[in-house]
Amino acid sequence: MLNVASALIVAGLGAAGLWDLRITPWPASHVKQAESGCGGERVYSTKDPGVHSPRRRRGAPPKYPDMTGHTFVGTPAIFEVVVNSKGVVCEIRTVRAPRINPPLPAFGAALRRSITESEFRPGTKDRRPVAVRMTVTITIDVH
């Protein structure tokens, strides 16, 4: 199952099935204008005037752990990510972990690793590279 993404769709085959990486702007209401991070860079939201979101250039699908004895419930995983002005993920936070019964933290770790190891074209503000906070949603179809 591939869902249409507002910014980017990247599909690949992982051990657990097809995955869909969806990148959407992080709401401006969640980002402080003067917030800094990633080595002191000011972090923008794609909702700020003149700001465009980073785009994923390349990256491999997650390398999932063995799912034997675990059931995937199907909830998408959501991460808050900051991509710096060099296109590197410098912050990542799990907003919603994938639901697996019994819990399997290595599955979420594989998704996080896939995001942080990806290469991005940096976001821009007025055509200059800047750090941008956004959400990344990964939907997994195990059929």
Q: Using CA atoms, how far apart are residues 81 and 115, in angstroms rounded to an integer? A: 9
Let me know if residue 9 belongs to a domain.
no
Let me know if residue 8 belongs to a domain.
no
Q: Using CA atoms, how far apart are residues 76 and 99, in angstroms rounded to an integer? A: 8
* Closest by CA position to 122, among listed 92, 88, 91: 88
Other C-beta atoms lying within 10 Å of the C-beta of residue 15: 12
Let me know if residue 39 belongs to a domain.
yes
The structure tokens listed for 60 are: 């491999």
Let me know if residue 112 belongs to a domain.
yes
Would you state the pLDDT for residue 39? Answer: 81
Over the chain (143 residues), what is each successive 10-residue block's mean pLDDT?
28 39 49 57 90 92 88 87 95 92 91 94 95 91 65
Question: Where in the sequence is the domain holding 38, given as residue range(s)?
Answer: 25-135
* Closest by CA position to 80, among listed 62, 64, 94: 94
The structure tokens listed for 51 are: 């700001």
Q: Would you say 14 and 30 are in contact if contact means Cβ atoms under 8 Å apart? A: no
Let me know if residue 65 belongs to a domain.
yes
| CATH number of the structural domain spanning residue 112 | 3.30.2420
Would you state the pLDDT for residue 11? Answer: 31
Would you state the pLDDT for residue 46? Answer: 80
What total of structural domains would you count in the chain? 1
Residue 75's contacts (CB-CB under 8 Å, 6 or more residues apart) are: 96, 98, 99
Would you state the pLDDT for residue 32? Answer: 42
Let me know if residue 119 belongs to a domain.
yes
Would you state the pLDDT for residue 127? Answer: 92
Let me know if residue 122 belongs to a domain.
yes
Would you state the pLDDT for residue 78? Answer: 95
